[in-house]
Amino acid sequence: MSTLDSAEVAVVGAGVVGAAIARDLAAHGVDTAWLEAGEDVGAGTTKANTAIWHTGFDAKPGTLEAQLVARGYERLIDLAPALEVPARADGAVLVAWDAEQADALEGILAQAETNGYHDCRRLDAAEVYAHEPRLGAGAHGGVLVPGEGLLCPFTLPLALGRQALAGGVRLHLRAGVEHATREQGPDGRARHRLHTSRGAVTARYVVNAAGLASAAVNRLLGHEGFTITPRRGQLLVFDGLARHLVRHVILPVPTARTKGMLVAPTVHGKLLVGPTAEDLDDPTATATTAEGIAALTRWARAVVPALAEEEPIAAYAGLRAATEHRDYQLFAAADEGYVCVGGIRSTGLSSCLGIAEHVLGQLAACGLEHDAPRELPPVRLLGPVGASGQPGAPPYLGDDRPRPCQDPAAVASDPSYGRVVCHCERVSAGELHAALADPLLPARDGDGLRRRTRAGQGRCQRFHCGARVDALLAEGRP
């Protein structure tokens, strides 16, 4: 079989975790091949995340997950603005809905302290309603978590990935690993040979960040220790016209099994409810169910009664890579040059940069030599043009900045930014063209275009723009 690539390090998986690792490898000047079985970066389990920027206040103390979520949170404070990833620490209110739950609040506060998060504050019932006036009746009290926030699960992997590519990483899409062998390289040292559908990739070191497939890839590399049980989470999204109903992330008191269903704003100005938690055997079961949607609707109305009057604009399901263990499955086989990053659940969005730093340390312990970290070229997004315009880049998706069509300077610079195609989400023709023409990570299909621009993601669900966007995509596809 032909050789697709030959690198010092091969990273398997282009979810948010793989993207953060690839980005850090680029920052350290490491020769890296990056493999993804699917069609795009961030298109698997990452895109169906609950989009919460976790502080780690409620993590299981002493776990690697607790440590890496806290570290990932910290790194994102600087990197999110630099990468122009929408991220906002609006805070969370954890609400106790009965006396028994209220009794658990002190334990939650103590757990946050143990985790090194010291900003939590106990709220009495009146304070809960002062923070969230639209909350349904019956709150017994709560905990304020000021640093808990919101992230864009679409932009984060793409921005990390774009910076990795700008830093020299080579991405191979539709290159799922089918089997793996060990061989002797031309310099006489042992190396991996990863056989993919597009050819073989040789690498001294392999990082397995394959998400739902991480256990399978782990076995291909000759290791055991964990299995993935996909845990389905169904989510319901309400239109932006309902956004004002909630100010913070509204968390329930967690149970032993799940963190429970939250009601949260999104950085895109929507309102999200979920996730459910259903253990499944089928790693492709991303369907929503009548029962799941009914449970989400009930919960939405119980937490924020005014949501009974609002229409959902999307329902979707994601699969979390749950394992039989209570922690990430992150370990290195030093003599083989293999690092496994398995069982990264929904916290991966927040912890990805903590994981990347940890993985770099593990690779160094395996013998990888790398440069001191360098500044990667900035990867700016489109608009507002006055601030950071760079042609051929997708737009900023957060609702805290105007879209190019709203920005007089952007429209003056290019009339196509004033030509609105998706009216619900205010996406202009200029942005769609830019996302298709991005030299680093162009949109290749409708789903990719939606994640980069939000076209068609609004309340009309493509009634107005679907045909035109599809036609643009058909024309503009490379």
Partner 1 sequence: MSAVPPHAAAADTGGGAVAAAAARSAGSVPTRRPDVLVIGGGPAGLACAAELARAGAAVELADRDATLGGVPATTAHRGFGEGLRRGATGPQHAHRLVTEAERAGASLRTETSVLGWADAGDAGDAGDAGDGGDGGDGAWAERATTTVEVTGPTGRERLAPAAVVLATGCRERPRHARLIPGDRPAGVLTTNQVQQVATRHPGGAAAVGRRAVILGAEHVSFSAVHTLASLGCETAALITDLPRHQTLAPLRLATAGVRGVPVRTSTRLTGIHGHGRVEGVTVRPVGATRSEEIACDTVVVTGDWVAEHELARRGGLVLAASTGAPRVDRALRTTRPGVFAAGNVIHPAETAAVAAAGGRAAARAVAAFLTSEAREGADAAGAGLATRWRTAELPVTTAWPLQWVAPDALGLAGEVPSVVDTAVLRTAAVVEGRLVVSQDRRVLWRSRRQRLVPNRSLRVPLPDLEHLDPTGGRVEVRVSRRG
Catalytic (active-site) positions: 54
Neighbours of 143 (CB within 10 A): 24
Per-residue contact string for residues 117-156; x = within reach of partner 1 by CB under 8 A = --x--------------------------xx-x-------
Total residues contacting partner 1 by CB under 8 A comes to 76
Of 319, 395, 358, 397, the residue nearest 24 (C-alpha): 358
Site for partner 1 in 42-61 (CB under 8 A): none
Site for partner 1 in 359-388 (CB under 8 A): 384
CB of residue 35 to partner 1, shortest distance in Å: 21
Between 143 and 420, name the residue whose CB sits nearer to partner 1. Answer: 420
Site for partner 1 in 163-202 (CB under 8 A): none
Between 61 and 283, name the residue whose CB sits nearer to partner 1. Answer: 283
Task: Write the single-letter amino acid at 316.
Answer: Y
Which contiguous run of DSSP H or E holds residue 363? Answer: helix 348-366
Between 112 and 420, name the residue whose CB sits nearer to partner 1. Answer: 420
Of positions 3, 197, 255, 461, contacts partner 1 by CB under 8 A: 461
Site for partner 1 in 410-429 (CB under 8 A): 411-412, 415-416, 418-420, 423-426
Neighbours of 373 (CB within 10 A): 12
Between 377 and 408, name the residue whose CB sits nearer to partner 1. Answer: 408
- 435 near partner 1, rule: CB under 8 A: no
Of positions 1, 3, 81, 107, contacts partner 1 by CB under 8 A: 81
Q: Degrees (nearest 5) of the Cα angle 88, 383, 465?
A: 90
How far is Cα 92 from Cα 247, in angstroms, rounded to an integer?
Answer: 9
CB of residue 451 to partner 1, shortest distance in Å: 13
- 240 near partner 1, rule: CB under 8 A: yes
Between 122 and 419, name the residue whose CB sits nearer to partner 1. Answer: 419
Between 96 and 264, name the residue whose CB sits nearer to partner 1. Answer: 264
* 112, 192 contact by CB (below 8 A): no
Cis peptide before 384 (omega within 30 of 0): yes
CB of residue 143 to partner 1, shortest distance in Å: 15
Of 284, 247, 278, 277, the residue nearest 263 (C-alpha): 247
- 319 near partner 1, rule: CB under 8 A: no
Site for partner 1 in 258-317 (CB under 8 A): 268-270, 284, 286-290, 292-293, 297, 309, 311-316
Which contiguous run of DSSP H or E holds residue 158? Answer: helix 155-166
Residues 289, 294, 300, 302, CA torsion sign: negative
Q: Which residues contact 151 (CB under 8 A, 6 or more apart)?
A: 51, 52, 53, 76, 80, 85, 86, 87, 267, 349, 350
- Placement of tokens 């930014």 in the chain: 417
Site for partner 1 in 386-405 (CB under 8 A): 398-403, 405
Neighbours of 146 (CB within 10 A): 16
CB of residue 445 to partner 1, shortest distance in Å: 9
How far is Cα 281 from Cα 283, in angstroms, rounded to an integer?
Answer: 6
Between 84 and 438, name the residue whose CB sits nearer to partner 1. Answer: 84
Residues 445, 448, 452, 458, CA torsion sign: positive
Site for partner 1 in 204-223 (CB under 8 A): none
